[in-house]
C-alpha cells in the first residue's frame, strides 16, 4: 500500500477525525478552566477540525452513493459526545461564574457538527429512497 493510497481509505479519515474530535473537546474544557488563556488557539483548531470532519464525512457520503459504504460508524456518536461537552461547558460556566466563558468556537463547532449530521441523514434517506426504486 503506497503512502497516498492510505489517504484514500475512509478509515484513516475516521482515525484523524476521532483524534481531532477528542483533542478539540479536551482543549475547550481545559481552556474554560484556564479562563480562556489559550483562546487565541480556538479558531485555528476549529478550522482544522472542520476541515478534517468535512473530509471524513465527504468520503463516507461519496462511498455511500457509489455502493462502497458499510455504515458502521454512526454520526449519532459525534452528536452525543459534542452535546455532552457543550452541556458540561455551560454547567461549569454556571457553577464557576462569569470569569469562565464557553468559547464561541465551541458553540460554532457544535452547530457545525449538528449541521453535518443533519445533512448526512438527509443524504442517507435520499440514497435509501433511490435504492428502493
The count of domains in the chain is 1
Q: Residue for cell digits 468559547?
A: 103
Count CB neighbours of 16 within 10 A.
Answer: 16
* Strongest mean pLDDT among 2-11, 27-36, 57-66, 119-128: 27-36
Phi, psi of 28 (to 5 degrees): -65, -40
Rounded to whole angstroms, how far apart are CA atoms 113 and 131? 27
pTM reported for the whole predicted model: 0.82
Rounded to whole angstroms, how far apart are CA atoms 46 and 43? 5
Rounded to whole angstroms, how far apart are CA atoms 18 and 113? 13
The CA dihedral of 14, 58, 22, 3, to the nearest 10 degrees, is 50
pLDDT in tens, 88-111: 999 999 999 999 999 999 999 999
Query: CB of 68 within 8 A of CB of 81?
Result: no
Give the domain range for residue 59.
3-132
Is the model's pLDDT at 6 over the cut of 60? no
* CB-side neighbour CA atoms (13 Å) of 56: 25
Percentage above 70 pLDDT, the chain: 84
Amino acid at each position: 500500500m503506497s503512502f497516498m493510497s492510505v489517504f484514500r481509505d475512509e478509515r484513516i479519515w475516521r482515525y484523524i477525525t476521532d483524534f481531532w474530535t477528542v483533542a478539540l473537546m479536551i482543549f475547550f474544557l481545559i481552556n474554560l478552566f484556564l479562563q480562556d488563556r489559550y483562546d487565541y488557539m480556538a479558531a485555528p483548531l476549529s478550522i482544522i477540525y472542520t476541515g478534517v470532519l468535512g473530509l471524513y464525512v465527504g468520503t463516507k457520503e461519496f462511498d455511500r452513493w457509489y455502493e462502497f459504504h458499510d455504515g458502521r460508524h454512526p454520526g449519532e456518536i459525534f452528536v452525543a459526545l459534542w452535546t455532552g461537552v457543550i452541556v458540561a461547558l455551560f454547567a461549569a460556566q454556571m457553577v464557576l461564574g462569569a470569569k469562565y466563558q464557553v468559547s464561541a468556537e465551541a458553540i460554532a463547532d457544535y452547530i457545525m457538527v449538528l449541521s453535518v449530521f443533519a445533512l448526512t441523514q438527509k443524504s442517507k434517506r435520499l440514497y435509501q429512497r433511490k435504492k428502493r426504486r
